[in-house]
Amino acid sequence: MQRYFTNEKYEKKDTYSLSGEPYHHITHVMRMREGDQIDLVFSDQVTIHAKITSINDQKVFVEEVAKESQEKELPLAITIACGYPKGDKFDWLVQKATELGAAAFIGFPAKTSVVKWDPKKLSKKQQRLEKITQEAAEQSQRSYLPDVSLLANEGDLFPLFSDYDYVLVAYEESAKQGETATLAKLLQNVSVNAQILAVFGPEGGFTSEEIAMFEQNQALFCGLGPRILRAETAPLYLLSAISYHWELLYR
């Protein structure tokens, strides 16, 4: 069933209306008519199955049929922070990580980032990424729309660490040394609804200076198995491992 997000919080009503982009998509792309059904996701993560009751020149009107009962979100809130990679890799990463349940994304210019994103253009890039997350969240039937934040300076990342219960840094040297315990122990001991920031480097990895800054800010270093993963692959490995542990192994 086609899914649409609204900025409104859920409130029991006889009728709900959709305008703007959802209206265009429903009427001109999907070509829906009265009697067709959609999923409507509110900003407080309440999702309802709704039936279209009428359509005019500007709005689609729907009525609630039932509430969605299946839990679609990861039990942990995982924010993926990545050093800006080359090309359109960040677009691809954001799309796939949204499908896998990421709660938010932070992009930052790491010291080995080959691409240098113009700070003046970050706003437009952020809008593009927000569109990608919306489409991916609708496709994967999520009940939450991930946030996207693009930083102009790497130094702006470290003050954000205090907002999280845990900060994980995926470090290839940990993988080379066979370190496997940090992530496993964290998943075994972390509480439901914990806020986790997972930090990944660009293609060139992290410099010794960056590693020192992570250490000063009490980050945990972890390996992601014995293989060295690409910058855009590593976050997907982490999200998949978390999904398996919390959504398949213990459910």
CATH code of the domain in which 54 resides = 2.40.240.20
Same domain for 39 and 110 = no
Query: Where does a domain end: 40, 67, 94?
Result: 67
Residue 81 sits at φ, ψ, to 5 deg, of -110, 125
Please report the pLDDT score of residue 145 as a whole number: 95
Helix, strand and coil percent figures for the chain, each rounded to 5 = 35, 25, 40
Query: Looking at the domain assignment, is residue 156 inside a domain?
Result: yes
Query: Looking at the domain assignment, is residue 239 inside a domain?
Result: yes
Query: Looking at the domain assignment, is residue 199 inside a domain?
Result: yes
Please report the pLDDT score of residue 224 as a whole number: 87
Please report the pLDDT score of residue 228 as a whole number: 84
Same domain for 226 and 120 = yes
Same domain for 112 and 60 = no
**Residue 191 to residues 37, 180, 194, 221, 246, Cα–Cα distance (Å):** 37, 20, 6, 19, 11
Query: Looking at the domain assignment, is residue 22 inside a domain?
Result: yes
Query: Looking at the domain assignment, is residue 86 inside a domain?
Result: yes
Same domain for 99 and 59 = no
Render pLDDT for 88-98 as a digit per residue (tens, 0 to 9). 999 999 999 99
Query: Looking at the domain assignment, is residue 72 inside a domain?
Result: no
Please report the pLDDT score of residue 171 as a whole number: 84
Query: Looking at the domain assignment, is residue 150 inside a domain?
Result: yes
Q: How many CB atoms lie within 10 A of CB 242?
A: 23
The model's confidence at residue 140, banded by pLDDT at 50, 70 and 90, is: very high
Mean pLDDT of 200-214: 93
Q: Residue 235 above 80 pLDDT?
A: yes
Render pLDDT for 104-131 as a digit per residue (tens, 0 to 9). 999 999 999 988 788 888 999 999 999 9
Same domain for 117 and 63 = no
User: How far apart, in Å, do the first and last CA atoms of the chain sit?
Assistant: 25
Same domain for 7 and 46 = yes
Which residue, among 97, 80, 74, has the nearest Cα to 197 in the 3D structure?
A: 80
Q: What is the DSSP letter of 231?
A: T
Same domain for 152 and 50 = no
Mean pLDDT of 231-251: 89
Answer whether 235's CB lies under 8 Å from 93's CB.
yes
Q: Residue 69 above 70 pLDDT?
A: yes
Domain containing residue 154 = 77-249
φ/ψ bin of 14: left (φ > 0), alpha (ψ from -120 to 50), beta (otherwise): alpha
Query: Looking at the domain assignment, is residue 61 inside a domain?
Result: yes
Percent of the chain topping pLDDT 90: 79
Query: Where does a domain end: 49, 67, 85?
Result: 67
Mean pLDDT of 151-169: 95
Place of tokens 């010291």: 111
Is residue 245 classed as helix, strand or coil in its secondary structure? helix
Element containing residue 78 per DSSP (H, E): strand 77-83
Is residue 91 classed as helix, strand or coil in its secondary structure? helix
Same domain for 141 and 37 = no
Same domain for 219 and 108 = yes
What domain count does the chain have? 2
The model's confidence at residue 178, banded by pLDDT at 50, 70 and 90, is: low
Query: Where does a domain end: 18, 42, 67?
Result: 67
Same domain for 206 and 111 = yes
At 144, which CATH number?
3.40.1280.10
Mean pLDDT of 42-46: 94
Same domain for 109 and 32 = no
Same domain for 111 and 230 = yes
Q: Residue 247 above 80 pLDDT?
A: yes
